[in-house]
């Protein structure tokens, strides 16, 4: 049994992670930390797993943590995460980091977009980006993996193969994303107060969302191509699920059906990416680790629709997929 | 034109009140106060009425308020409200108070349930309870009216006539209420964070909700009968609307159809109470000032279902109905 | 009092229309028709207006209708509508038609997209398109007005002034729209069955939605410009509201702030269009006749966000605005 | 591997069943039937399990079915189910039946409430009722189990131990239940059309719901007590989950805390029933096989709140729990 610790275990992604790990045959959760000094009871924070895990929250303390844990998932906010991750890696603990700290190619971009000094700058740019379908070989050999952002996952899965095979133009790339409210985290805020966001849709962060540079840089890493995606997220009155509608222009002589076939080929042996003939709903994939993708023509443009569960394929499911790879376990263990 | 001021104008009931008053032909809103020292712009707090009212929030100050206002609606929390209301009444301003401060029969009950000293104890027990269908004559002559609680409105409208006509037993009276989340107010709180209460139902305040003594006391006031209602509110994933399912036992020889006819007679000339032959949905009354009521038999018990919009008939619509009565205007002005 | 008849009164737009007209001081609803031979009771079909209108549904019959009605709103599906509208116009009854029958510029386009022969081809292309802010003078003098589609309203209000003033390029114009489910009408269908579309988002009709040619043709009519908009509607789990995210490219030397100012000028004297400094939510406008529009820059592209209530400004509110204009009444009567 | 067949596989309970069985290590799904002559593709009917099960729907035909199947789950409507079930049992196939056909104690009650002749009257009254926590020993030895109704499960789990231990009075027993819309099945109907039931609550079937005699009869079977529960179901705007608020009167000298302790003892060794100290939300149990129960005092009455997922513990999870018992497998296999 692999002894697993979760750093920052009170949020929604941590709950999904715990639920997945409770089903994973090779895992034993031995440590749960929280930054809340009151160390609340697990059944109070996550009543859904009441009586399923005999463990309570403790404050993070590297020595006791390192003693009880072989593998760590770190679910802290940016900057706070790298502070802990560097200690864990130095102790030889393998880590999947949920934060944005190790996703970008360089510290300068990180510090510009996140407006904070990076606590572990030396590692930035050396850590595999945790989309297994795109970076499997690097992930297999890594001590630390940067779990991807939920919006970038939904955009990169369809875009990366098409751009790297030179099938679509690098401009315009317009990503119009719709997300459930769990994507905003668990901290109360007027914007996510039920009567404010129920029965309503809104765009937010137009031109300023931090997942935009992440998408651009990962495309650069995979395809050696500069793109400048236009990314607009929208808040949808539902718990979970992301749908990204992506507008691209095929290269001359290429049409939607060729794009469809190429993606279908590319993902042929992948369990968790399904290229569909009909327009997918987020409900087809919520509570699963799947990403479904469709491709349609609309005049000169191609409209790609990609759906995934922001908490699973966009966070905790992908994290366990990476965990399986890093430990040489069958990739689908616990997430099918 | 009646110059109207609203004390505590940033919440949901205040917004509904403003929207109703903007349609009221005899009203001019001249003052809006907030306890927020930053005095936020109206269009920021309530974007829905952007460009419709040239007024911003100010802090409450009795002299300037009294100068500009003929009639006040006070939408402050309990205790804070009576502090202001007593000043307003002393200046000769008529008031509808949305808080619980003047609803109960005596200060002792208030202080027991609200756990705070009453700032205006002398007036407690002398103020009409603002359900026009039950207390119209007192309201007409009042300087101050206590606007009723939303749950009590839904329960008292059917119960009061049946109890006072001696058609049902005084025990058991079980009120199982379901409310939309706007009933919880606008202050962010983990309980009302979208992903917590969406796709979920929960009971709350079982045996401890402050609307329970309110229901019991008003029944006592109307019928001179002691009842001890069992009241259980539930939070429903919707913006607005209350449905109360009320279980009572008809007196020997009385059946549901007689109760139906009696209620139908009692409310025959009332515009805003409709006795229906089919089970009502909250959607039949949301965004209106109506309360719809049905009566069914189920074995020995009678099941009464009553629906209203917690923000309108359960708050701001009733308040304007009271306002119209207090000023001798046609009762339905602005709320049909 | 103007005697108003509603043809096809059982759907959601008809209910909103009735509710608005019940508040309109110059209107008396004298006729309601349905194609349902059973002529159901009004309170059964629309329990929300129970006891508010003493009228029941009847089958449409031109003679009795013409006798009792001065002005008609026709809420029938396409093709069925023009069959009736032509009879009404011939009898001298003014009409606002909610269907698509008279919106397009030519019969050929209608027949291609709607796959049915047009029952009143002669009038096609001569009927004003009912967006008052863009076609006020034609509407004022019309006997018949084609009420616009809900998506086109949300797209044309921002696009028409910008294109006609030559401030943006005519390509790309990408309209990514999100709509509440009431937009799909009231006929039960697995797609709109609650557990299918709740907690889910989906795109639909990519490249094939009938509002796409409507947008393109009206732009042509206003600006004498050919555009070929890419239009993708999405179904959102909420009752009502449309948000359109529109991606355009400003002309060289033009930026988002200039576009903002130009729109602000253009709509300066319009009550129902508000240019906002912050990103609007659909909730800012639902249950109102307003359309709120914001403009942001994102790299080379400008992102316009436009919100309206599909049943009000996107249907019945606009219809009454047209009605007011056609009869010389103050334009905002009944819809503020 | 046990070869499992599902009869009637297109609905919501069947989908949940398939998803559970795909995780069950001892099961291979070999047959899926539908009454739809067009035999639709599985990925069309249930896109969520696209690429996960290589099987399509076929019409039910006893010979081929019996050849390929060791164990059957029958998800057909009442009466249609017993027609098939009797054939299966005669062929020696073990069955869990989701319908109401074998739940009641006698054919007369069945025929009164379901208004149809029972196709397999001989077996009625001999089939174990599939709540494992209450009927485990009968279920273990059964060839056929009647899977319980979702509302009865939520009511019987708390009521049965309290009544059989003589801790509460047999009258009043008031069950006020709230259910998500998936409980209504997958057939489109105006009542469950999204814009009708979204943002609304309604009671339905007051005094006439078929789960009322089921509750009464099972109590009689367990405790040899006649009760006459008042049962009122309500439709809640959410996908799944049932919350039952149950009002009972403790026997003299008994209080809520004793009831709590007794239930806690009774369910001490049960994995899937959790007695909680705080009021449970349906969200604590949706997507799980748990039933959480709390007990509160309110005046003379005790208020029991019980929550479960109508599709899992209220249907397919319970069914697999029964399946595990019938085959001597560990009871929690596949459902934890």
- Strand order from edge to edge, sheet including A94-97: A27-33, A2-7, A71-74, A94-97, A144-146
DSSP state for residue D275 in the 8-state scheme: E
| CB contact (8 A) between residue A190 and residue B186 | yes
Average confidence (pLDDT) over B64-93: 97
State yes or no: pLDDT of D39 exceeds 90.
no
User: Residues 147 to 206 of A: which have CB under 8 A from any C CB?
Assistant: 171-172, 174, 176, 178, 180, 196, 198-204, 206
For residues B12 and B6, give the distance between their C-alpha atoms in angstroms, rounded to a whole number.
Answer: 13
* Distance from the first to the final alpha carbon of chain B: 20
* Distance from the first to the final alpha carbon of chain A: 20
Identify from A179, A298, A302, A311 which residue to disrupt to test chain C contact, counting C C-beta atoms within 10 A and taking the largest count.
Answer: A298
CB C217 within 8 A of CB C137: no
| Rg, chain C, Cα only | 19
B283 contacts on A by Cβ (under 8 Å): none
Phi, psi of B159, deg, nearest 5: -75, -40
In the structure, what pLDDT confidence band is assigned to residue A39 with cuts at 50, 70 and 90?
Answer: confident
**Residues of A marked as catalytic:** 150
Q: How many residues does chain B have?
A: 336
What pLDDT, in 10s, does the model give residues D64-105? 999 999 999 999 999 999 999 999 999 999 999 999 999 999
What pLDDT, in 10s, does the model give residues A58-113? 999 999 999 999 999 999 999 999 999 999 999 999 999 999 999 999 999 999 99
* Distance from the first to the final alpha carbon of chain D: 20
> In the prediction, which pLDDT does B39 show?
84
Q: How many angstroms separate the CA of residue B245 from the nearest CA in chain C?
A: 19
H-type helices in D165-272, by residue range?
Answer: 194-197, 211-223, 256-266
CB B15 within 8 A of CB B41: no
Residues 6+ positions from C223 with CB-CB distance below 8 Å: C160, C163, C164
B336 contacts on C by Cβ (under 8 Å): 22-23, 52
State yes or no: pLDDT of A301 exceeds 90.
yes
Does an H or E element contain D87, and which? helix D80-90
Q: How many angstroms separate the CA of residue C295 from the nearest CA in chain B?
A: 16
Which regions of chain B carry the CATH code 3.40.50.720? 2-127
* Summary mean pLDDT of chain B: 97
- Minimum Cα–Cα distance from D238: chain B residue: B199
| CB contact (8 A) between residue A186 and residue B180 | no
Q: How many residues does chain A have?
A: 336
- Strand order from edge to edge, sheet including C273-275: C202-203, C230-235, C174-179, C242-248, C301-308, C291-298, C273-275
In A192-299, beta strands by DSSP E: 202-203, 230-235, 242-248, 273-275, 291-298
| CB contact (8 A) between residue C276 and residue B50 | yes
| CB contact (8 A) between residue D207 and residue B178 | no
For residues C180 and C237, give the distance between their C-alpha atoms in angstroms, rounded to a whole number.
Answer: 6
> In the prediction, which pLDDT does B86 show?
98
* Distance from the first to the final alpha carbon of chain C: 20
User: Residues 208 to 237 of B: which have CB under 8 A from any A CB?
Assistant: 237
Q: How many residues does chain D have?
A: 336
What pLDDT, in 10s, does the model give residues A167-210? 999 999 999 999 999 999 999 999 999 999 999 999 999 989 99
Ramachandran class of A60: left when φ > 0, alpha when ψ lies in -120 to 50, beta otherwise: beta
Residue C253 burial (C-beta neighbours within 10 Å; 0-12, 13-18, 19+): exposed
| CB contact (8 A) between residue A194 and residue B199 | no
Q: Is A295 on the interface with B (CB under 8 A)?
A: no
Q: How many angstroms separate the CA of residue D310 from the nearest CA in chain A?
A: 16
| CB contact (8 A) between residue D48 and residue A284 | yes
User: Which chains are adjacent to chain C, needing at least 3 Cβ pairs under 8 Å?
Assistant: A, B, D
> What is the residue-wise DSSP string for B60-116?
--HHHHHHH-SEEEE-PPTTHHHHHHHHHHHTT-EEEE-SSTTTSS-HHHHHHHH-S
Does an H or E element contain B293, and which? strand B291-298
C279 contacts on A by Cβ (under 8 Å): 202-204, 206
| D295 CB-side CA count, 13 A | 24
Q: Could you tell me how far CA C297 lies from the centroid of its own chain?
A: 28
Q: How many angstroms separate the CA of residue D48 from the nearest CA in chain C?
A: 12
- Strand, helix or coil at C60? coil
> In the prediction, which pLDDT does C39 show?
84
> In the prediction, which pLDDT does A59 show?
96
Q: Which of B196, B199, B239 sits opposite A195 (nearest CB)?
A: B239
Average confidence (pLDDT) over B90-98: 98
CB B142 within 8 A of CB B89: no
| CB contact (8 A) between residue D194 and residue C199 | no
In chain C, beta strands by DSSP E: 2-7, 27-33, 71-74, 94-97, 144-146, 174-179, 202-203, 230-235, 242-248, 273-275, 291-298, 301-308
DSSP state for residue A14 in the 8-state scheme: H
* Summary mean pLDDT of chain A: 97
What pLDDT, in 10s, does the model give residues D181-235? 999 999 999 999 999 999 999 999 998 999 999 999 999 999 899 999 999 999 9
- Strand, helix or coil at B189? coil
| Rg, chain D, Cα only | 19
Residues 6+ positions from D36 with CB-CB distance below 8 Å: D10, D57
Greatest C-alpha distance within chain B = 63
> What is the residue-wise DSSP string for A151-203?
HHHHHHHHHHHHHHTT-B-SS--EEEEEE-GGGG-SS--GGGBHHHHTT--EE
C173 contacts on A by Cβ (under 8 Å): none
B274 contacts on C by Cβ (under 8 Å): 50-51
Give me the percent of chain B exceeding a pLDDT of 70: 100
H-type helices in A36-121, by residue range?
Answer: 42-45, 62-68, 80-90, 107-114
CB D271 within 8 A of CB D334: no
What pLDDT, in 10s, does the model give residues C183-234? 999 999 999 999 999 999 999 999 899 999 999 999 999 989 999 999 999 9
Fold for D150-310, please state it. Answer: Dihydrodipicolinate Reductase; domain 2 (3.30.360)
Q: Which ipTM score applies to this complex?
A: 0.96
In the structure, what pLDDT confidence band is assigned to residue A332 with cuts at 50, 70 and 90?
Answer: very high
| C230 CB-side CA count, 13 A | 24
Rounded to 10 degrees, what is the CA torsion of A268, A271, A272, A275?
A: 30
Does an H or E element contain D29, and which? strand D27-33
Q: What angle do CA B85, B88, B94 make, to 5 degrees?
A: 95
CB A285 within 8 A of CB A294: no
Residues 6+ positions from A175 with CB-CB distance below 8 Å: A151, A155, A215, A229, A230, A231, A232, A244, A245, A246
For residues A319 and A334, give the distance between their C-alpha atoms in angstroms, rounded to a whole number.
Answer: 11
Q: Give which of C83, C29, C81 is closest to C57, Cα–Cα.
A: C29
> In the prediction, which pLDDT does C292 show?
98
- Strand, helix or coil at C250? strand
- Strand, helix or coil at D32? strand
Average confidence (pLDDT) over A110-120: 96
Fold for B2-127, please state it. Answer: Rossmann fold (3.40.50)
Distance of CA A136 to CAs A97, A130, A218, D171, D192, Å? Answer: 16, 8, 14, 64, 45
Q: How many residues does chain C have?
A: 336
Average confidence (pLDDT) over C256-268: 97
For residues D252 and A36, give the distance between their C-alpha atoms in angstroms, rounded to a whole number.
Answer: 45
Helices A150-164/A256-266 angle, 10° precision:
110
Ramachandran class of C170: left when φ > 0, alpha when ψ lies in -120 to 50, beta otherwise: alpha
- Minimum Cα–Cα distance from D240: chain C residue: C195
| CB contact (8 A) between residue B198 and residue A194 | yes
Q: Give which of B331, B334, B317 is closest to B271, Cα–Cα.
A: B331
Which regions of chain B carry the CATH code 3.30.360.10? 150-310
What pLDDT, in 10s, does the model give residues B153-211? 999 999 999 999 999 999 999 999 999 999 999 999 999 999 999 999 999 999 899 99
Rounded to 10 degrees, what is the CA torsion of A3, A5, A9, A14?
A: -60
């Amino acid at each position: 049994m692999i002894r697993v610790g979760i750093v920052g275990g009170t949020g929604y992604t941590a709950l999904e992670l715990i639920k997945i790990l409770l089903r994973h045959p090779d895992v034993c959760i031995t440590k749960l930390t929280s930054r809340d000094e009151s160390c609340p009871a697990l059944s109070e924070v996550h009543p859904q797993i009441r009586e399923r895990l005999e463990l309570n929250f403790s404050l993070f303390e590297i020595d006791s943590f390192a003693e009880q844990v072989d593998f760590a998932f770190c679910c802290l906010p940016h900057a706070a995460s790298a502070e802990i991750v560097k200690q864990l890696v130095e102790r030889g603990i393998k880590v999947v980091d949920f934060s944005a700290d190790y996703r970008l190619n360089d510290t300068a971009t990180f510090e510009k977009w996140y407006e904070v000094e990076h606590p572990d700058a030396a590692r930035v740019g050396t850590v595999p980006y945790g989309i297994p379908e795109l970076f499997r070989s690097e992930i297999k050999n890594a001590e630390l993996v940067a779990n991807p952002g939920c919006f970038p996952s939904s955009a990169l899965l369809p875009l990366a193969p098409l751009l790297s095979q030179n099938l679509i133009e690098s401009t315009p790339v317009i990503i119009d994303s719709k997300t459930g409210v769990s994507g905003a985290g668990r901290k109360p805020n007027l914007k996510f107060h039920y009567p404010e966001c129920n029965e309503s849709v809104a765009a937010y962060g137009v031109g300023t969302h931090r997942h935009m540079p992440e998408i651009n840089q990962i495309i650069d890493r995979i395809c050696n191509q500069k793109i400048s995606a236009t990314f607009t997220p929208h808040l949808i009155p539902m718990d979970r699920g992301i749908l990204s509608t992506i507008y691209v222009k095929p290269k001359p002589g290429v049409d939607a059906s060729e794009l469809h076939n190429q993606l279908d080929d590319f993902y042929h042996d992948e369990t968790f990416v399904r290229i569909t003939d009909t327009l997918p709903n987020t409900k087809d994939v919520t509570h699963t680790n799947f990403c479904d993708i469709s491709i349609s023509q609309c005049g000169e443009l191609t409209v790609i629709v990609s759906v995934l569960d922001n908490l699973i394929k966009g966070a905790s499911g992908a994290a366990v997929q990476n965990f399986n790879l890093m430990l040489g376990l069958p990739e689908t263990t616990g997430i099918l």
